[in-house]
Amino acid sequence: MVVSISSIAASSRAGVSSATFSSTPSRADGDACPGLFYQTAAQDGFLTRIRLPGGVLNCAQATLIADVAAQFGQGQVWLTNRANVQLRLPEPEIAPAIVAQLQDLGLAARLPEVDHLRNVMASPTAGIDVAAVMDTSGLVQAIDQYFSSHPELAPLSAKFSVGLDGGEGVSIGDRRNDVWFVATSASQMRLLFGQRDTWLMCSPGNVIELVAAISQMYLEFAPQIPVSVNEHRRSRKPRWGDVVDYLGCDRVCKQLNGRGAFPAPTTTHETNVNEPSETRSGNVKKMAFPAPMTTHETNVDEPSERRSVGAIKLKGAGYAPLRWEQHFDHIGVHDQSQCGLAYVGMIVPLGRLLSNQLHQLSQLAQTYGNGELRLTPWQNLIIPNIPKTRLTEFQQTLESLGFAYDQTHPAGGIVACRGLPGCGASFTETQIDAAKITQHLADSVKLDQPINIHVSGCGKGCAQPSGSDIALMGTEHGYDIYLRDSNQTFGRLLVTSIVPTQLPEVIARIVRRYQRSREPDESFSQFTQRYEIKQLQEIFGLGVS
């Protein structure tokens, strides 16, 4: 039973002392991310992040988060780019009874000192995706349980993260994780460090053993790394990749070999990205891993249906970028792997939900599904397990609540950081500017291809760490506009110093002229990458000399 927020607040005022974020061990090394137990001050309050391994919420959890947001968080719930929830509280404290409720419902670790380690990511369609070769949802829970129950792991970097790829059609390969386990069949996974291929395999049953071994190696060797290695970062604490660089990947892999990991088979099989996915996922000889020393390049704009299960392609020896998918692939109505069921991916404009909206969606999930909500790292939301016989009724109800689920709706592709006034590093009011762009596109342009627009208040690019079709970077003079270049955060500079009042029409003109000049079915990034910047400035009518 969930205790009412009003009664919790009353008990706190009656003499129950508040639990402050700073009551946990100090992270004086600057290695801090917002969390439930760590104070992170912003211009408009204190950031509180509730970590959701795999991004999954049940109805009771969603209800409690909505209630906490209504009482303390300005009535707003923010979805993050790692499928977590973030609140902005007026004070750097939270009532112990609320913390206890969050812990009871699995929204916080019992051991505050390890809550920051619950950075376990998986596809939001894990366990329901028709393209998957492995259901990773059980591994998400197992890894979370391992971190949550081992206080000796507290010194791990707050950014230490594990990603799981079950070969789903909805890939999270554009998210950064220190360690990846990528399914190549129903019984085998490939181990990567970031985008670096270790050439080691393991079974799902050995994942926890390997996570433990990697954690212990970090704790042993990270203190030996010179501080100068991390001077360019806000956090001075080494990342797992720094440990790998310090020791050498070969040495790390040798220590892991035999501890649940074994060498990947070497083969001269050539990767054919056009080969049907079902022929490349079932056995090791046909999995989409090039042989060592290949220089096969990844085409990030290749249609998703042609970049199949476990498709990891090397840019050079030892480096294996995960599949990169457009971040709107999950939006819309999709069949599940379970017969007779479907999931609906809906748009949460700019990743912000009002507390009453979260209540409504929780009720919707309970009425039509199994009560589960799945957050995506693209700051949208999925309701799974809807009987197909009730889909029409569900869609009508969803629309009546004001939620869209069309991939070509402008709001589905626009992400923005907090911006001014909440973020002191920002030059611009990104939330306001992004909302105006969304509305202007909806009013003046009919999209038939989704376009991803990233609005950032400064050069950090916090809202979207991967590349976007169009990136807008705030400066003291307005916005600089960038176009995708590989998968970099910003890309190629198109034009500088567009003032916010002109921005919506400038973006609309860029989109209209792309639609007028493109080849049939050509995506925005495919179109822009055919031209030099000066040519694009002329095509888009930007008047740059």
Tell me the pLDDT tens digit for each residue of 140-169: 999 999 999 999 999 999 899 999 999 999
**Per-range mean pLDDT, top range of 31-45, 141-155, 223-237:** 141-155
pLDDT value at residue 310: 35
Report how far apart, in Å, the C-alpha atoms of 266 and of each of 166, 181, 190, 285, 356 are.
Answer: 22, 19, 13, 9, 55
Residue 130 has pLDDT above 60, yes or no: yes
Can you tell me the distance from the alpha carbon of 190 to that of 289, in angstroms, rounded to the nearest whole number?
Answer: 10
Residue 393 has pLDDT above 50, yes or no: yes
Of the candidate ranges 306-315, 318-327, 416-425, the one whose mean pLDDT is the lowest: 306-315
Of the candidate ranges 204-213, 232-241, 329-338, 482-491, the one whose mean pLDDT is the lowest: 232-241
Q: Are strands 372-375 and 56-58 parallel, antiparallel or unpaired?
A: antiparallel
**Per-range mean pLDDT, top range of 271-280, 291-300, 473-482:** 473-482
Band of residue 487 on the pLDDT scale cut at 50, 70, 90: low
- Give the residue among 194, 206, 185 at the shortest CA–CA distance from 142: 206
Residue 265 has pLDDT above 90, yes or no: no
Can you tell me the distance from the alpha carbon of 217 to that of 244, in angstroms, rounded to the nearest whole number?
Answer: 10
Between 265 and 238, the more confident residue is 238
Alpha carbon of residue 267 to chain centroid: 33
Can you tell me the distance from the alpha carbon of 286 to that of 275, in angstroms, rounded to the nearest whole number?
Answer: 10
pLDDT value at residue 43: 75
For 430, the token pair is 């990104």
Q: What angle do CA 221, 225, 227 make, to 5 degrees?
A: 145
Q: What angle do CA 84, 179, 279 make, to 5 degrees?
A: 100
Indicate the pTM of the whole model: 0.85
Residue 114 has pLDDT above 80, yes or no: yes
Span 325-329, mean pLDDT? Answer: 68
pLDDT value at residue 32: 62
Helical segments of 316-422, H only? 355-368, 391-400
Span 226-240, mean pLDDT? Answer: 72
Residue 321 has pLDDT above 50, yes or no: no
Tell me the residue length of the chain.
Answer: 545
Span 161-184, mean pLDDT? Answer: 94
Between 311 and 57, the more confident residue is 57
Residue 14 has pLDDT above 80, yes or no: no
Can you tell me the distance from the alpha carbon of 430 to that of 11, in angstroms, rounded to the nearest whole number?
Answer: 38
**Per-range mean pLDDT, top range of 20-24, 254-258, 403-407:** 403-407
Residue 305 burial by CB count (10 A; 0-12/13-18/19+): exposed, middle or buried? exposed
Can you tell me the distance from the alpha carbon of 301 to that of 297, in angstroms, rounded to the nearest whole number?
Answer: 12
Looking at residue 401, the DSSP 8-state letter turns out to be T
Band of residue 287 on the pLDDT scale cut at 50, 70, 90: very low
**Per-range mean pLDDT, top range of 6-15, 35-44, 476-485:** 476-485
Residue 502 has pLDDT above 80, yes or no: yes
For 10, the token pair is 């009353």
Residue 18 has pLDDT above 50, yes or no: no
Residue 258 has pLDDT above 90, yes or no: no
For 281, the token pair is 């996922």
pLDDT value at residue 465: 81
The letter for the amino acid at 180 is: W
Between 124 and 322, the more confident residue is 124
pLDDT value at residue 298: 32
Of the candidate ranges 72-86, 116-130, 314-328, 474-488, the one whose mean pLDDT is the lowest: 314-328
